[in-house]
């Protein structure tokens, strides 16, 4: 496990032209199976831990992460939203906006970074993904959009791109998921697209 990250701004912010030039590589992400490239735990606000091994739990999500404690502004009682338990971001896109340093990837605030096509057509809500040998997560219908922090860290042009129609359809900002089968996950694990809940692909 790496040290807790202290910085909160990525060292580069690309222009619209630079982002457009890099999107071709993002669109080449695999569909039926991919690779888990990074696991990031958020022990506190603006803190990140890059994990060599993480545990996914049906109740708490990524064990040691603050998802449950953070709560949600969209639930009636302010409790954590069950369909926003995990966030998954395309690793090719985060490499485009943040560079090669995994610590700069972690600034996005997502927990899982995967070389996998996250497009809404490829992974509609209800699609289940096997991560490693044990864990299974399910894509939820909750939209995961860029916020002010994303703009501050990766630039306004990157923020505009993830909010564009193209960006939303491709889920460039990422997607929300929930844990349906607990298990240990590690960077380098294969992610298999199982298909909709209750049916294998």
Would residue 61 count as lying in a domain? yes
The pTM assigned to this predicted structure is 0.89
Instruction: Quote helix, strand, coil % in the chain, to nearest 5.
Output: 25, 25, 50
| 200 within domain boundaries | no
For residue 108, the enclosing domain spans 16-195
CA-nearest of 180, 182, 175, 51 to 116 is: 175
pLDDT confidence of residue 137: 98
Residue 8 within any structural domain of the chain: no
What domain count does the chain have? 1
Query: Residue 11: inside a domain, yes or no?
Result: no
What is the predicted pLDDT for the residue at 98?
93
CATH code, domain carrying 48:
2.40.33.20
181 within a domain of the structure (yes/no) = yes
CA distances from residue 70 to 38, 55, 157, 173 in whole angstroms, order as listed: 22, 19, 28, 20
Q: Give the containing element (helix H, strand E) for 181.
A: strand 175-181
Does residue 7 lie in a domain region? Answer: no
Looking at residue 147, its pLDDT comes to 74
With a cut of 70, list the residues of the chain below it in pLDDT.
1-11, 70-80, 146, 197-201
Q: For residue 5, is it within any domain?
A: no
Please name the residue that has the structure tokens 């996998």: 116
CA atoms within 13 A on the CB side of 30: 11
């Amino acid at each position: 496990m790496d040290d807790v990250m202290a910085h909160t701004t990525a060292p580069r912010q690309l222009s619209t032209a630079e982002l457009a030039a890099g999107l071709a590589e993002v669109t080449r992400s695999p569909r039926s199976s991919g690779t888990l490239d990074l696991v990031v735990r958020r022990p506190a606000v603006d803190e990140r831990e890059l994990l060599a091994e993480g545990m996914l739990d049906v109740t708490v999500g990524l064990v040691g992460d603050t998802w449950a404690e953070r709560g949600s502004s969209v639930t009636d009682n302010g409790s954590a939203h069950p369909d926003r338990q995990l966030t998954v971001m395309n690793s090719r896109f985060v490499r485009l906006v943040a560079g090669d340093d995994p610590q700069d990837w972690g600034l996005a605030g997502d927990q899982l970074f995967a070389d996998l096509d996250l497009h809404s057509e490829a992974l509609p809500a209800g699609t289940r993904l096997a991560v490693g040998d044990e864990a299974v997560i399910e894509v939820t219908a909750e939209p995961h959009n860029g916020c002010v922090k994303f703009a501050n860290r990766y630039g306004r042009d990157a923020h505009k791109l993830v909010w564009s129609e193209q960006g939303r359809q491709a889920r460039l900002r990422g997607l929300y998921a929930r844990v349906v089968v607990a298990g240990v996950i590690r960077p380098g694990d294969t992610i298999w697209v199982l298909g909709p809940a209750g049916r294998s692909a």
